[in-house]
A and B are shown apart, each in its own frame.
Chain A
Amino acid sequence: MGCHTVLAMDVPDGLELYSRMCFLRHFEERVDVLYRRGLIHGPAHLGLGQEAIAVGAASVLRPGDCSLGTYRGHAHALARGAPPDAVLAELLGRAGGICQGKGGSMHITSVEHGYFGSYAIVGAHLPIACGLAWAAKIRHTGQVTVCFFGDGTTNIGAFHEAVNLAAVWQLPVVFVCENNWYMEYTPIADVIPVELPAADRAAAYGLDRVVVDGNDVAAVRRVIGDAVTSARNGQGPSLVEAQTYRLKGHSAADGAAYRPAEEVARWRGRDPLLRARAALAAAGTTEAALDEIDSRTRSDVADLARQVLGRPVPEPSGAWTDVWSDGSWQWRN
């Protein structure tokens, strides 16, 4: 089915990257619509506008590499190859959800595809990423772990504990700050004493100051690719600040009225999909070919939503499984 092959983990060319970003854009826009129709149970945090980071980073990872994200994690799971129908079923509380209905939007996980989870406590997954990288180091597997987080995360203790540990232990981990300039509803500049939330903290851990245009998928591929290669070669961790902008609010319930219209307009002009289109057009791809990708991925997502909305809800008995590794939940005899 089209929506599976769109995100296949083959070696990408520019069109493939564009296609993946289009799919994520249409997926998240569809989630937004479904949310406003009351069909998403619980909150949803959309990655609209941040597609180039998810797609660019995933494109430099190998099967077996690990990645982790935040509650804004749909795109990161899909970019690693998580089945879109199972992701959407999880969001909609339908049977066949990727977490069996127990995680929802904020905890999308696909370990089979190397995506070790979306974490809803800000900063919590940075230490966990260290652990995955630590295991790879102990076992000399050559696996790399990439950990995505937002600009607001750079103010929580777990960020500093984890980056410090990774640097001290020289772990094969790449920390990627998706700086969208707002911690929830507050401009990040209001709550940091430096100019850049991640890059300006790197020196404290003996790491290079790395900034990348997070809306340029080619630049993301190059910079995160270098960091991943460095980690794989035993040269330790990196902290990359990928600068981007969310096209919508913090969550689907947030109208983002606190952002100046001029700022929003400026960043809309830097939309990663428009940038990718322009680059591909300049390299000779026809507008018709680009439009075809856009409309194909849009209709793939529409088909997907129709299919998943037709599914039943999970059996209630499923609430009583998966606490313990033997499948049970009992705490006493």
Chain B
Amino acid sequence: MAELTYRQAVAAVLAQEMARDDRVVLLGEDVASGGVFKTTKGLRERFGPDRVWNTPISEQAIAGAAMGAAMAGLRPVAEIMFADFYATCWDQVANEIAKVRYMTGGQVSVPLVLRGANGSGGLGFGSQHGQSVENWAMCVPGLKIVSPATPAEAFGLLAAAIRDNDPVLVFEHKALYGRKEEVPEGEHVLPLGRARNVRAGGDVTLVGLSITVGTCLAAADELAGLGIAADVLDLRTLVPLDAAAVLASVHRTGRLVVVEENPGQLGWGTAIAALAAEEAFSDLTAPVARVSGGNVPLPVAASLEAEVDVSAARVVAAVRAVLKYGQPNHGWPASRQGQSRR
């Protein structure tokens, strides 16, 4: 075991995969000098300019070049510095990369990774640098979606993404980059499509992803003090989705609270809630609750940001409301708990 920060884990796994497979090449803005989040630190020095390519500020060119190189048999890893910037190259991602294999009847594969910093986490990056945007990608067939919650996951899931033969979007959380934890030694590879049961409990299922796994765990600690045992699931990947793990947990607990950082109006949690409604209806003893980012662009002042970001307190309030379902004055819907407006 080695202790690594989340950002060091990203750099370490990129180095591991580049050493292992000379088809792996990096491109992106500032990647040659280590990247603004230092996730490619030392790689240009170690692997040279033929493996690590600085680009202009041209996300369409970055994503498109990655696609072309992947069709030619390389395994490019392109950095999209802030996930918000996917909006500037969405044609490449949603119309080209996701679809070219299908549209050509399987004539090509696109084994590429697009990775970068996602999410709010209370850092004050605001509406154009602080969004959680996995949900943008989740409605496009042909894209795999990975969101690591820990340094070990950042390492293992990125390794799997690079080795995967299909396009994978890896959403690293910028507020987790400094988090330090043990990462297994050796070729640590985590399979895509396998959720992790982080904490066992029989009263309610909390489903999180990326930073909200930590939110769920903090809430679970608080709930334990109230005598409520939460089962916490870290989805790890949205596509492929480990639906079986969600359904199995809901079968055990009978209650589901989904915790997502993106705005709730069409967040990834809607898919999880629909899954439970469609396939676990008879297991549910209360309606599903969702705790999500506010349905507003992300504000910057810390007090405003905290008002709309998810928090453990809001998760606790939602869980308590779910548990009170059916009792008089239960305060439904649970999603409204702990937030003045949604």
Contact present for A102 and B105 (CB under 8 Å): yes
Bound CA span A324–B98, Å: 10
Q: Out of A103, A128, A133, which one reaches B103, CB within 8 Å? A: A103
Return the chain A residue nearest B143 by Cβ.
Answer: A331
Across-interface contacts of A97 in B (CB, < 8 A): 105
Q: Does A23 contact B (CB under 8 A)?
A: no
Q: Does B306 contact A (CB under 8 A)?
A: no
Bound CA span A322–B74, Å: 20
Interface residues of B in 235-281 (CB under 8 A from A): 239-244, 275
Contact present for A322 and B106 (CB under 8 Å): yes
Report the stretch among B54-62, B113-121, B181-189, B204-212 that lies at the interface: B54-62
Q: Does B53 contact A (CB under 8 A)?
A: yes
Across-interface contacts of B102 in A (CB, < 8 A): 102, 322-323
Q: Closest CB-CB distance, A328 to chain B, in whole Å?
A: 10
Q: Does B70 contact A (CB under 8 A)?
A: yes
Across-interface contacts of A102 in B (CB, < 8 A): 102-105
Interface residues of B in 65-93 (CB under 8 A from A): 65-74, 76, 91-92
Across-interface contacts of B275 in A (CB, < 8 A): 332
Return the chain B residue nearest A97 by Cβ.
Answer: B105
Q: Closest CB-CB distance, A96 to chain B, in whole Å?
A: 10
Interface residues of A in 297-332 (CB under 8 A from B): 321-327, 329-332
Q: Closest CB-CB distance, B339 to chain A, in whole Å?
A: 30
Bound CA span A24–B44, Å: 48
Contact present for B240 and A161 (CB under 8 Å): no
Across-interface contacts of A330 in B (CB, < 8 A): 240
Interface residues of A in 162-208 (CB under 8 A from B): 162, 164-165, 168-169
Bound CA span A313–B15, Å: 49
Across-interface contacts of A126 in B (CB, < 8 A): 64
Beta-carbon contacts of B43-58 to A below 8 Å, as 1s and 0s? Answer: 0000000100101101
Return the chain B residue nearest A319 by Cβ.
Answer: B102
Q: Out of A109, A131, A145, A164, which one reaches B64, CB within 8 Å? A: A131
Across-interface contacts of A215 in B (CB, < 8 A): none
Across-interface contacts of A135 in B (CB, < 8 A): 68-69, 72-74
Across-interface contacts of A138 in B (CB, < 8 A): 25, 50, 69, 74
Q: Which of A109, A121, A329, A332 neighbours the largest number of chain B CB atoms within 10 Å of its CB?
A: A332
Q: A124-B91, A168-B56 are in contact. Are A322 and B101 (CB under 8 A)?
A: yes
Bound CA span A128–B103, Å: 15
Q: Does B141 contact A (CB under 8 A)?
A: yes
Contact present for B91 and A132 (CB under 8 Å): no
Interface residues of B in 169-209 (CB under 8 A from A): 193
Bound CA span A225–B64, Å: 25
Beta-carbon contacts of A282-296 to B below 8 Å, as 1s and 0s? Answer: 000000000000000
Contact present for A130 and B68 (CB under 8 Å): yes
Q: A119-B96, A128-B96 are in contact. Are A165 and B105 (CB under 8 A)?
A: no
Q: Does B153 contact A (CB under 8 A)?
A: no
Across-interface contacts of A116 in B (CB, < 8 A): 68, 71, 108
Q: Out of B58, B68, B76, B104, which one reaches A99, CB within 8 Å? A: B104
Contact present for B105 and A99 (CB under 8 Å): yes
Return the chain A residue nearest B96 by Cβ.
Answer: A124
Return the chain B residue nearest A140 by Cβ.
Answer: B50
Beta-carbon contacts of B102-139 to A below 8 Å, as 1s and 0s? Answer: 11111111010000000000000000000000000000
Contact present for B64 and A158 (CB under 8 Å): yes
Bound CA span A31–B294, Å: 52
Bound CA span A145–B275, Å: 46
Interface residues of A in 41-58 (CB under 8 A from B): none
Return the chain B residue nearest A159 by Cβ.
Answer: B60
Q: Out of B55, B74, B244, which one reaches A165, CB within 8 Å? A: B55
Q: A131-B65, A323-B141 are in contact. Are A124 and B95 (CB under 8 A)?
A: yes
Across-interface contacts of B160 in A (CB, < 8 A): none
Contact present for B103 and A136 (CB under 8 Å): no
Q: Does B142 contact A (CB under 8 A)?
A: yes
Contact present for A333 and B242 (CB under 8 Å): yes
Contact present for A158 and B91 (CB under 8 Å): yes
Known contacts A130-B65, A131-B66; 15 additional CB pairs below 8 A are A99-B103, A99-B105, A102-B102, A102-B105, A109-B104, A109-B108, A117-B108, A127-B60, A128-B64, A131-B70, A131-B76, A158-B91, A164-B58, A322-B105, A332-B242
Interface residues of B (CB under 8 A from A): 25, 50, 53, 55-56, 58, 60-74, 76, 91-92, 95-96, 100-109, 111, 141-142, 165-166, 193, 239-244, 275
Interface residues of A (CB under 8 A from B): 66, 97-103, 107, 109-112, 116-117, 119, 121, 124-136, 138, 145, 157-158, 161-162, 164-165, 168-169, 321-327, 329-333
29 contacts between A and B (CB under 8 A): A66-B72, A100-B105, A103-B103, A107-B103, A109-B105, A112-B107, A117-B108, A121-B95, A124-B95, A125-B96, A127-B62, A131-B69, A131-B76, A157-B60, A158-B64, A161-B60, A161-B61, A162-B64, A164-B61, A168-B56, A169-B53, A322-B105, A324-B101, A324-B142, A325-B101, A330-B240, A331-B241, A332-B239, A333-B244
